[in-house]
């Protein structure tokens, strides 16, 4: 490995939140004269210096287009780019890099799968999704269903925000062709028992598509252990750059699927009589890829791998536990989603206050949260609300910041009482 290669950091560091926070320069600033409390990680997480440095180094020292350059920079760029693919493969324990497809994010990955599986669908076939899905795991299936005559069927959730397993079992039938479900809800935080769902789906020959966007920032999925057919996630939610995501797919299924886009890289040979497709994974990667972003994603994974994942998960669960303890004492507080198994996300509403007002008034105190329907309108309809306020935590957040959120909400209440 030459001195410009993107090497992985295999050293495991002790969990020290103050040291970790120094790795994220954006957290040191002030907003409206107050120290930034960033609790919008479910929308997009911040980036450590190692990610920023890796992308800067790529552009300064090795930028070139990949795969076809007959020169040293091209070789360096290709090595870094394909090395990033191997880093992703290892992170999710995929069998081969042939099964790791670069996309622009989870949304494009799910669209790719939906369009690729469309030829398998016919009128009367059913696609199971859940009521807690992000629009990105609903709308692509609706579009494909409209073209093919298939039907999108929603699995119910319980009032606590857990998947209704009786509803799932009752809806799974001989017309079911695809199960598309989130690993963790972006609104409720609920971690679904996807391994069990996949096992039941497999027994009936149903293909499985897992939206892992909210899962991978908090724990490492093992696609072989899950035995899923497809798994999609985004870089920017797991401390990497925007503009790139990953689709894992079983090689035998990817081989059967038609290309999603046409152009350079995805071809083997072009003539006006006939075009043939490139081998996996390039068959689905038309055009110049997001090279620097792939390098940045690999650096983000290396950063996560430099810690004991158990320690990171424990720190995040401590934040979630404390936030629940404090917010439950706020008068008029209603927490949406109280599943037993959650990633550190809390959606809530407060009687008499509009979510957008809560967000604006917290921002005046330097506290960043998300408000609205969170691209999950069917779930909002289920709970009978137009939207919620949402605080989503990462391992670089502190218990002091949880206290600031609580204090901030108390101040807002005093303004309106």
Taking residues 271-278, report their average pLDDT. 80
Q: Specify whether 325 is located in the same domain as 237.
A: no
| Interval 201-259: pLDDT, tens | 999 999 999 999 999 999 999 999 999 999 999 999 999 999 999 999 999 999 999 99
Taking residues 123-143, report their average pLDDT. 98
Given 284, 305, 326, the domain boundary residue is 305
Taking residues 161-174, report their average pLDDT. 96
In the prediction, which pLDDT does 52 show? 98
Number of domains in the chain: 2
The 10 Å Cβ neighbour count of residue 252 is 9
Cβ pair 129, 180 in contact under 8 A: yes
- What lies within 8 Å, CB to CB, of 283 at 6+ separation is 254, 259, 266, 277
- What lies within 8 Å, CB to CB, of 354 at 6+ separation is none
| pTM greater than 0.85 | yes
The 10 Å Cβ neighbour count of residue 15 is 15
Q: How far is CA 35 from CA 116, 229, 314, in A?
A: 47, 44, 25
The 10 Å Cβ neighbour count of residue 334 is 15
Q: Specify whether 197 is located in the same domain as 322.
A: no
30-31 and 267-270: which strand pairing?
unpaired
Place of tokens 């404090």: 326
Taking residues 374-385, report their average pLDDT. 96
In the prediction, which pLDDT does 265 show? 81
In the prediction, which pLDDT does 11 show? 64
Taking residues 293-303, report their average pLDDT. 98
Just list the catalytic residues: 375
Cβ pair 91, 83 in contact under 8 A: no
Given 289, 305, 321, the domain boundary residue is 305
Q: Specify whether 331 is located in the same domain as 212.
A: no
Q: Specify whether 241 is located in the same domain as 340.
A: no
In the prediction, which pLDDT does 271 show? 76
Does 395 fall in a domain?
Answer: yes
First to last CA, the chain: 65
Q: Specify whether 136 is located in the same domain as 228.
A: yes
CATH code of the domain containing 353: 3.90.1150.10
Cβ pair 109, 232 in contact under 8 A: yes
Q: Specify whether 300 is located in the same domain as 322.
A: no
- What lies within 8 Å, CB to CB, of 90 at 6+ separation is none
In the prediction, which pLDDT does 2 show? 34
| Residues listed for the chain | 417
Cβ pair 241, 47 in contact under 8 A: yes
Residue 188: domain span: 59-305
Q: Which two tokens stand for residue 149?
A: 């005559």
Does 5 fall in a domain?
Answer: no
Q: Specify whether 249 is located in the same domain as 294.
A: yes
Does 180 fall in a domain?
Answer: yes
Q: Specify whether 135 is located in the same domain as 246.
A: yes
Q: Specify whether 81 is located in the same domain as 100.
A: yes
Residue 122: burial class (beta carbons within 10 Å; 0-12, 13-18, 19+): exposed
Q: Specify whether 150 is located in the same domain as 79.
A: yes
Query: Confidence class of residue 195 from pLDDT cuts 50, 70 and 90?
Result: very high
HEC string of the chain?
CCCCCCCCCCCCECCCHHHHHHCCHHHHCEECCEECEECECCCCCCCCHHHHHHHHHHHHHCCCCCCCCCCHHHHHHHHHHHHHHHHHHHHHCCCCHHHEEEECCHHHHHHHHHHHHHHHCCCCCEEEEECCCCHHHCHHHHHHHHHHCCEEEEECECCCCCECHHHHHHHCCCCEEEEEEECECCCCCEECCHHHHHHHHHHCCCEEEEECCCCCCCCCCCHHHHCCCEEEEECHHHCCCCCCEEEEECHHHHHHCCCCCCCCCCEEEECCCCEEECCCCHHHCCCCCCHHHHHHHHHHHHHHHCECHHHHHHHHHHHHHHHHHHHCCCCCEEEECCCCCECCEEEEEECCCCHHHHHHHHHCCCEECEEECCCCHHHHHHHCCCCEEEEECCCCCCHHHHHHHHHHHHHHHHHCC
In the prediction, which pLDDT does 252 show? 98
Cβ pair 21, 37 in contact under 8 A: no
Query: Confidence class of residue 170 from pLDDT cuts 50, 70 and 90?
Result: very high
Given 268, 286, 305, the domain boundary residue is 305
């Amino acid at each position: 490995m030459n001195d410009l290669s993107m090497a992985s950091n295999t050293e495991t560091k002790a969990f020290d939140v103050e040291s970790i926070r120094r790795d994220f320069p954006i957290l040191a600033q002030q907003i409206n004269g107050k120290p930034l409390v960033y609790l919008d990680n479910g929308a997009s997480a911040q980036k450590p210096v190692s990610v920023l440095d890796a992308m800067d180094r790529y552009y300064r020292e090795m930028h070139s287009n990949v795969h076809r350059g007959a020169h040293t920079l091209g070789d360096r760029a290709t090595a870094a780019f394909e090395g990033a693919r191997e880093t992703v493969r290892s992170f999710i324990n995929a069998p081969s890099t042939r099964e790791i497809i670069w996309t622009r994010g989870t949304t494009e990955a799910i669209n790719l799968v939906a369009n690729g599986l469309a030829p398998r669908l016919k009128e009367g076939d059913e696609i199971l999704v859940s009521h807690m899905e992000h629009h990105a795991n609903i709308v692509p299936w609706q579009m494909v269903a409209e073209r093919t005559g298939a039907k999108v069927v929603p699995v119910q959730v319980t009032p606590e925000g857990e998947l209704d397993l009786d509803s799932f079992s009752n809806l799974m039938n001989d017309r079911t062709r695809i199960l598309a479900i989130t690993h963790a809800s972006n609104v409720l935080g609920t971690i679904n028992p996807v391994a069990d769902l996949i096992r039941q789906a497999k027994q009936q020959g149903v293909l499985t598509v897992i939206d892992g966007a909210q899962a991978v920032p908090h724990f490492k999925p093992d696609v072989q252990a899950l035995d899923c057919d497809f798994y999609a996630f985004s870089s920017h939610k797991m401390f990497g750059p925007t503009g790139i995501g990953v689709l894992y797919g079983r090689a035998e299924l990817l081989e059967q699927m038609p290309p999603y886009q046409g152009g350079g890289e995805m071809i083997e040979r072009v003539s006006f009589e006939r075009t043939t497709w490139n081998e996996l994974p390039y068959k689905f990667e038309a055009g110049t890829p997001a090279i620097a972003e792939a390098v940045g994603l690999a650096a983000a994974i290396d950063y996560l791998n430099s810690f004991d994942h158990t320690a990171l998960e424990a720190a995040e669960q401590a934040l979630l536990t404390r936030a629940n303890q404090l917010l439950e004492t706020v008068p008029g507080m209603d927490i949406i989603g109280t599943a037993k198994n959650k990633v550190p996300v809390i959606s809530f509403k407060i009687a008499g206050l509009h979510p957008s007002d809560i967000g604006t008034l917290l921002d005046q105190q330097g506290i960043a949260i998300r408000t609205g329907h969170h691209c999950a309108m069917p779930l909002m309809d289920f709970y009978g609300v137009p939207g919620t306020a949402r605080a989503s935590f990462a391992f670089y957040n502190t218990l002091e910041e949880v206290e600031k959120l609580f204090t901030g909400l108390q101040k807002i209440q005093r303004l309106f009482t």
